[in-house]
Amino acid sequence: MPYVPFSLRYRPQTFADIIGQEHVSRTLQNAVASGRVVHAYLFAGPRGTGKTSTARVLAKALLCDKGPTPEPCGECSLCRAITDGRALDLIEIDAASNRGIEQIRELREKVRYSPAEARAKVYILDEVHMLTPEAFNALLKTLEEPPGHAYFVLATTELHRVPPTIISRCQLFEFHLIGEARIEAALQAIAGSEGVQADPEALQEIARAARGALRDAESIFDQAVAYAGGRITVDLAREVLGVTPRDAVVDLLKAMAENDLASTLSRLDELVASGKDLPQLLQDIMLAVRDMLRASLGVGTSEEWEELADPARDIGSERLAETLRLLGEAERRLRDATQQQVSLELSLAQIAQTWAQPSAREKARAMVTQPRQAPTGPAPRRLETPAAAQPRRSATVEAASDKPSKAESEPEPASAPKAAPSTLAPAASSSASQGPSPVSADELAARWEEVHLQLKRMRRVAVWALLQEAKPVSLEGDIVTIQFDPKWKFHSERLGGPYRADVEQALSRVLGRPVQVRCLLGDVLTTPTPAPASQASKPKQEALPTAIQTAEAEDAGPQAEAQDEKDEKQDKKGIVEEPESEASAAAEKTVSAPKSPSQSDDDAIQRAVELTLQLFEDSEELPPE
C-alpha cells in the first residue's frame, strides 16, 4: 500500500477537526443547520490553513446521505467517496492549470446538469486567483445565477488578485494563521497516533518553522519521522529544518549588542565549524533582527526571539532599521564573496559598531546640551573622533540606573553650574573628563579623502571640484586650515566665501565634531580666522547647526523611536532643572526671546532636532533614477 503522508492522512474530516478556523466552521455549520447556505463561498488565506479541507467538509455536510447536516456521518457512501476523492458530485478544479475562458465555459455548461448521485453538486476552484480576466468574467455569470443544485467554493491565497466583482458575489471567509501552540498540539496528537516519540521542544521548533501553516508542520514532521527512525529530538528537528540553533543566534546577537567583537567572531566561528550554511545563517539573523525591530517598536515579538526584546529596545528602532539594510547589503556581498566567512564577519562587525555608536538623535541631544557641561572658560575642547565618541550603551545604561550619575558624584568646577540629574549629563561629563582623543594634522590629511566623499554624498559637486586643489595644513583647536596654490585664487575665494559652510559641514561630519575652516592662498589668509567653536562666548545659535551636522553625519538611518522620545522628554526635563550659567544663559538668549528658561530649552532642542533631520534629508542619497 502506498505511503500516505501525514498531511493527507490527518486531513480534517469534520468541522470539529478543523484547527484554528472556528469562525469559519461555526458559520458554515450554522448555515447548513439553518438552510442558509449560499451558492458561492470564497475562502482566502495563507497556504496550509485549511481552505480546501474546509471546502471538502462543507461538501460532505451538503451531500451526506443523512444531510444536509452540520455533522456529516463520514460513513455513508457519499462521505466515503468524498474522503477518497472519487465523489462524482464534488468537482475539484485547479484554477492554476485550468485558467482559461474555455475551461470556465465548459464548467458553465456542465453546471447545468443535475448531480449524478447526490442532491447537489459542489465545485471547488482552488487557486482561483490564477484565472484569466476573461475566465473571471465568464465565471461571474455563473456565480450570479447558479442553478439551485450547484455550490461553488473558491479558494485563494491571494485575495487581492481576485476581482472585486467576484468577491462581491461570494460570501468571503478569511482563514487565519494557526497559532504555534495549536500546531504543536496537533503534531503531538499525530505523534501519539503514530506511536512516534518526540520531544516537546522538537515539536515546538517544527511548529515555529511552519509559521502558522499546519500542512507545512505536518510535512516537516513527516520528514523528521522518516529521518529519525526513533525519537525526534530538538537537534534532529533543527537538522531537518536546516535552521541555526536559536540559542546560537541569540548569543551571537547579544555579543554584537554588547559590542564584544571577539565574542561575536568566536560565536560565528563555532557556527561555521558546525557546518552551518552562511547564507542560511544570515537569513536567520535577519529574521531575528526583524523581530527585534518589531519589539523595539512595541509591536510585540514572537516567543522565538523573546530573549532579544530587551536588547532590541536598548538598541532602538533607528539602528535596527539600519541593521536590516546592512544585512540586506551583506546578503548581496555574501553571494559574490569568495571568502564568505570574512564577508559575514565584516558585516557583523559593522553592525556591532553601528549599535555601539549613538544614534543621530542621541548625538543631536548630546551636542545641544554639551555647552552646559563646560560653559565656563574659552579653553578649547580637544578634538573628538567618531571612534572616540561615547558609546551608546554607557549613556543609556547610566541614564536608566538609579545610582547617582557621574556628574553628580564628581566634584564640579567652582564656576560650573550645579548639574541636576539628567540622562545626558553623565555621558557628556564622562566624555569631557576622559577627554576626546585628538586628531592630528597627519590624521586629518589621511582622512582628507573622506571629506571629498562626504561632499559627494552631500551632492555639493561644485564644492568637491574646488576642494581638489586644496590641501589640509593644520588643525588647531576647532579650526582647520586648508591651503591653495596662489594660482587657485578663485577656488580659495569660493571655498572661503559662499561654499565655506559646505566644507565645514563635510569636515564636521568626517571628524565627528564641529569645526571651522580658514583658507590660505599661498601664505595669505583669505578668510578671517574664526573663533573657536567651543568658546563660551560663541552664540549658541551659531553653534547649534554645526553640532547637529556632526551628530547627523554618521547615522544614515534616522528613525523616530518611542524610547528615544521618552529619553528626549527626560532630557528636556533634566536640562530645565539645571541652573543656568551666565554664559549659557546668554547663549540661550540669542536663540530666541523665551518666556522662560524651559521654553527656551524646548525650542532649542526642537530646533536642533529639526535641523538635524533637515540636514539628513539634504544629504540623503537616492538611487539613480
- Smallest distance from the beta carbon of 19 to another protein, in angstroms? 16
Cell 570574512 maps to which residue? 342
Residue nearer to another protein on the CB measure, 137 or 535: 137
- Smallest distance from the beta carbon of 416 to another protein, in angstroms? 33
Cell 465548459 maps to which residue? 106
- Neighbour tally for 65: CB within 10 Å: 14
- Smallest distance from the beta carbon of 368 to another protein, in angstroms? 15
Alpha carbon distance 267, 252 (integer Å): 6
Residue nearer to another protein on the CB measure, 54 or 373: 54
Alpha carbon distance 375, 207 (integer Å): 60
User: Footprint of another protein on this chain (CB under 8 A)?
Assistant: 23, 26-27, 30-31, 33-34, 36, 38, 44, 46-47, 141, 144-145, 157-161, 165, 167-174, 177, 211-213, 283, 286, 290, 293-294, 297-299, 317, 321, 324-325, 327-329, 331-332, 558-561, 565, 609-610, 613-614, 616-617, 622-623
Chain CA centroid to CA 289, Å: 7
Backbone angles phi, psi at 177, to 5 degrees: -65, 150
CA angle 529, 535, 540 (to 5 degrees): 105
Residue nearer to another protein on the CB measure, 165 or 415: 165
Alpha carbon distance 290, 305 (integer Å): 10
Residue nearer to another protein on the CB measure, 361 or 460: 361
CA dihedral over 243, 247, 249, 250, signed as positive or negative = positive
- Neighbour tally for 133: CB within 10 Å: 9
Strands 90-94 and 40-44: unpaired
Q: In sequence order, what are the beta bridge partners of 116? A: none
Beta-carbon-side half-sphere exposure of residue 15 (alpha carbons within 13 Å):
21
- Smallest distance from the beta carbon of 428 to another protein, in angstroms? 24
Residue nearer to another protein on the CB measure, 39 or 56: 39
Alpha carbon distance 169, 172 (integer Å): 9
- Smallest distance from the beta carbon of 332 to another protein, in angstroms? 5
- Neighbour tally for 559: CB within 10 Å: 19
- Smallest distance from the beta carbon of 216 to another protein, in angstroms? 9
φ/ψ region of 481 (left if φ > 0, alpha if ψ in -120 to 50, else beta) reads beta
Residue nearer to another protein on the CB measure, 384 or 561: 561
- Smallest distance from the beta carbon of 52 to another protein, in angstroms? 16
40 grid coordinates:
458561492
427 grid coordinates:
555621558
Residue nearer to another protein on the CB measure, 290 or 393: 290
Polymer length in residues for the chain: 625
Residue nearer to another protein on the CB measure, 344 or 517: 344
Residue nearer to another protein on the CB measure, 306 or 610: 610
- Smallest distance from the beta carbon of 146 to another protein, in angstroms? 13
CA dihedral over 238, 239, 244, 250, signed as positive or negative = positive
- Smallest distance from the beta carbon of 47 to another protein, in angstroms? 7
